Amino acid sequence: MWRFYKRKQISVLSFLLYRLFFFSYPMRPFYTRLLSLAAVTATAWSTAYADLGFFAQSQLDQWPISSKSQDPIPVVKEPIQAQQFRVLKNDRVKDYAVRVKETTSCEEGVQYSGYIDNFQTDDHLFFWFFESRSSPDTDPVVLWLNGGPGCSSMMGAWMELGPCLVDKSGNSTVRNEHSWNSVANVIFLDQPVNVGYSYGKSKVRDSKQSANDVAAFLQLFFGEFPEYSDNPFHISGESYGGHYLPSLATEIIRRNKEADRGHIHIPFESMLIGNGWTEPRTQLRHYETYSCATDSEYKPIFDEQECEKMRNTYPRCEKLMSACYRFPSPLTCVPANFYCEKTQQENFGATGLNPYDIRKNCTGDSGLCYDEIDAIGKYANNPEVRWELGVDEKAGEYSGCSDSVGYRFALTGDGARDFSKHVAETLHENIRVLLYVGDMDWICNWFGNLAWSLKMEWSGKEGYGQALEKPWYNKNTMEKAGEVRNHENLTFLRVFDAGHMVPYDQPENALDFFSRWLENESLSEK
């Protein structure tokens, strides 16, 4: 998810110092720049910063949203610590252990939930693993990460692609016939620390730190579950996953090259990014082109006056983003984030529409635009559910997205940084990359995603740019489900009639492309 925190107000002093910063830097003396940074940083705490996963009209009036409480949730059975956990340790990854238990749910197959414990930092990452419904011994292993930054992957499990979806009452779940574990072993991981059911003392502030923690998790997971360590491995996610996943891919590749130093070699095959936030400078440009187009019955979203305003303010946005790209730091990236969100994104709130699906209005009480998110929050905090999953009492109350994690990322300007270079590096290592994008999403729209993929510098750039867009048909229904562009190991898939969360809107079609992708089968053939 890609969330935005609405700025309630900016003091005159903060605004003047903010302007002083990006008009005068670096010609002003050091103390002036320091004051400017302080003003910008203070502003960032109350500005419209996001989590590519959930932005809503109600968030424009309610700030902050659903902060994660640290109050313990009452349990109805014996304490978590007394449950029958297996505690696993590995000499290759010292100072870590795995607490794991077999769980039950509406899914009949084998499943494990638990924590990866880091005793050095006192951090604990929660995971939930489901074996494949088909051939778990040989089927691929797929890691799923929701976005944010700071949104729980349990939303992906319970709302999109997991085997059990929370019903509208928030009291129970129903079997998902189109779950991605129909053809793969799937891991849902709550990260960074203090997201979802995860908890700890660390303060992860950017995507690189996140990647280091997730890469350590994978070393532990495959060390403790060696029966899956030779299966093909894929990383997947959506929204701010466009930052998380490319950074993680780089880290997996690096560790694989150091396997002789004690790292477990992971058979890394591909990366799948759904409606990602990857290359902000280009994607910001295409809020106007997407919103002001007339290519569907739901557009244009803005009138010509608003479209003209976006066009006129983008050059300054581009200039600030370029400075962030050249010299990535809070000094350059926080102001870029602030100005570009203010001029290119903030206007959407007045429409009352759902930024993740322009066909719908923003609903729900959580500020995340979907009633299902409220139901998931209710279900996730049910004491019986928490006990069954082995959720530690120290985790506190479950919240779909953590404000504190989002704020920390905002203060480093991580959201404004370019991660397409990591995608290019992944392609250069002969890892396949799929960019799939629902065409009804506004916040990470397909115009912007296609544009940055065409601009990306890599060895196949020319061929990819010349590739024709071909129809994609669901093999089971034979209905046209989208359009695909492919060259070498890069594929772009536009998914028709889907919003930000493709498996939620098009579950059958999502399973079709997912299954075929895992088999390295062309999506342009019937």
* Catalytic center residues: 239, 441, 500
State the Cα–Cα distance between residues 76 and 413, nearest whole angstrom. Answer: 42
State the Cα–Cα distance between residues 71 and 461, nearest whole angstrom. Answer: 51
Task: State whether the Cα torsion 441-442-443-444 is positive or negative.
Answer: positive
Give the per-residue pLDDT at 304: 96
Q: 318 lies in a domain?
A: yes
Q: Which region among 49-53, 259-263, 519-523 has the lowest average model confidence (pLDDT)?
A: 49-53
| DSSP conformation class of 2 | B
| Nearest in space to 48 (alpha carbons), one of 312, 407, 419, 315 | 407
Q: What is the CA radius of gyration of the chain?
A: 22
Measure the CA dihedral 273/278/282/288, to 10°.
70
State the Cα–Cα distance between residues 183 and 35, nearest whole angstrom. Answer: 55
Residue 143 backbone phi and psi in degrees, to 5: -95, 135
Q: 305 lies in a domain?
A: yes
| pLDDT tens by residue, 180-235 | 999 999 999 999 999 999 999 999 999 999 999 999 899 989 988 999 999 999 99
Q: Does the pLDDT at position 41 exceed 90?
A: no
- For residues 472 and 483, the answer to whether their CB atoms sit within 8 Å is yes
- Its domain, for residue 468, covers 52-66+128-373+398-526
Q: 96 lies in a domain?
A: no
Give the per-residue pLDDT at 2: 57
Domain count, the chain: 1
Q: 138 lies in a domain?
A: yes
Residue type, 229: S
The residue written with tokens 């009639």 in the block is 497
Tell me the two tokens of residue 388: 């069954």
Q: 266 lies in a domain?
A: yes
Q: Does the pLDDT at position 40 exceed 90?
A: no
Within 8 A by CB and 6+ apart from 83, the residues are 101, 387, 390
Task: State whether the Cα torsion 418-289-53-434 is positive or negative.
Answer: negative
**Average pLDDT of the chain, as a whole number:** 86
Residue type, 245: L
What's CA 68's distance to the chain center, in Å? 18
Q: 369 lies in a domain?
A: yes
Q: Does the pLDDT at position 70 exceed 80?
A: no
| pLDDT tens by residue, 96-108 | 888 999 998 888 8
Q: Does the pLDDT at position 69 exceed 70?
A: no
Q: What is the pLDDT confidence band of residue 92, given thresholds at 50, 70 and 90? A: low
Q: 11 lies in a domain?
A: no
Q: 108 lies in a domain?
A: no
Within 8 A by CB and 6+ apart from 507, the residues are 161, 176, 178
Q: Alpha helix locations (H) across 235-351?
A: 241-257, 280-291, 304-326, 330-344
- Indicate whether this model's pTM tops 0.85: yes
The domain spanning residue 515 has which CATH number?
A: 3.40.50.1820
